[in-house]
Structures are given as C-alpha cells and as structure tokens.
Structure 1
C-alpha cells in the first residue's frame, strides 16, 4: 500500500499559510499600537513573529509528512499549539487546520495491505 498523505499535506499547507497571514496581521496590530504608545505593543509584535516561525514549522511538517509521517505530524501539532499560545484568536483557523492533519498523521491506521484470512 502506498503511503498517501495528500489530505494531511494540503490541510497543513493551508493552515501554515493562514498562520503566516495571521502572524503578519498580529504584527500590524502591534505596530499600530506602538504608534499610539500603547504598553506592550512590542510584545504583540514578538508574538506575531513567533507565530510566523511556528507556521513555517507547520509548513515544513506538512511537506515531510509523506516520508516521515510521525515527525511531520509532531511538527504540525507543535505549530498549532504554539501559534495558539502566541496569538490566540487570530490563530484559531490555522490551529484547527494544523492540528487535524497532525493528529491524522500520528494516529496510524492498521496496515490494510495484508490479506485477511478467509472465514
């Protein structure tokens, strides 16, 4: 049986790209807050950068999921949870789109290529 992980690849790529967009959006809000001299605006920028880095990790996980299934799944789950910690509400769609294929990659089905015994 071939190792087809197309669903995990596509969902992981979409989640990672949306995560990068959410990180940029968070950085824009932090930049706007710094213009108005709001406290901790730099922290919002830093968390946006962290979300972008984690989204890139999620994209890497999606790209390697066909060859290294469990490692790719772990990368996507780390990206999803870390992004949610960094920029919470902005990262919810990305987090969902990264955690589902991450769990699908880790929870492995039994090998269906073995012939079943006749009853």
Structure 2
C-alpha cells in the first residue's frame, strides 16, 4: 500500500527536527560562552534530538516496506525528541506522532491493519 502521507510527514518532521536540534546546539553554545549553569546539558540534549530526528527519517524511509517498524521509529522519535528539547521540538514531535499513528491505524487493501 502506498504510504506517501506518512513518508512525507516523517521526512518533513525529520528535517525540521534536525534544524530545531541545531538551534538548540546554537543556544546551548551561546549559553556556554556566557557561562550559564546547565548550558552543557542543553547542547547534549540537542545532539540527542538530532540523532533521534535521523531515526525518525529512517522510520519514514522504511514505512512503505516495514510499516510497523517505521511507525514505531517515528513515535519513539516524537517522544524522545520532545523530552530532550521540549518546546523546540514541538512541531517535529506532532508531525512524527501523527505519521506514526497513521502508519499503525491505516488498513491495507485486504482490510487488515498494518
């Protein structure tokens, strides 16, 4: 079954998530240069969010062949990314979550859920 909507949403979420992660790294770096307490945590969490966004892109790429695994990757990316950098990751988290739920909920032509 074509899963173009899930693929496109996952791809957009991954790209936006990577950009959000890099903005978190930027703000963390600025805070470190200003010697703000806890700035290193922000940078580290942002790098984790970038890695998780790549996992979400992988999930989007495999959603057509392995629907359950791809959907799981995107849902995990939504949850972990939001935990890492919360507000910065809101848009990618919502997109990953919607795409992941769509992957699990949409039925194949045979009438059986993925």
TM-score of the aligned structures, taking structure 2 as reference length: 0.94
**Runs of 4+ more than 2 Å apart:** 111-114
What corresponds to 1:40 in structure 2? 38
Q: Number of matched residues?
A: 111
Instruction: Report 1:2-81 matches (<5 A).
Output: 3-81=1-79
Q: Deviations over 1:45-91 (max 9, x none)?
A: 00000000000000000000000001000000000000000000000
For 1:64 and 1:113, the matched residues in 2 are separated by: 20
For 2:59 and 2:109, the matched residues in 1 are separated by: 25
2:102 alignment partner, one of 93, 101, 104? 104
SS of 2:64's partner is coil
Q: Deviations over 1:65-119 (max 9, x none)?
A: 000001000000000000000000000000011110100111242x4457xxxxx
SS of 2:2's partner is coil
What corresponds to 1:117 in structure 2? none
Provide structure 2 residue ranges, at least 5 long, that are not aligned to the other structure: none
For 2:109 and 2:47, the matched residues in 1 are separated by: 42
Which structure has the larger Rg over C-alpha atoms? Answer: 1
Provide structure 1 residue ranges, at least 5 long, that are not aligned to the other structure: 115-119
TM-score of the aligned structures, taking structure 1 as reference length: 0.90
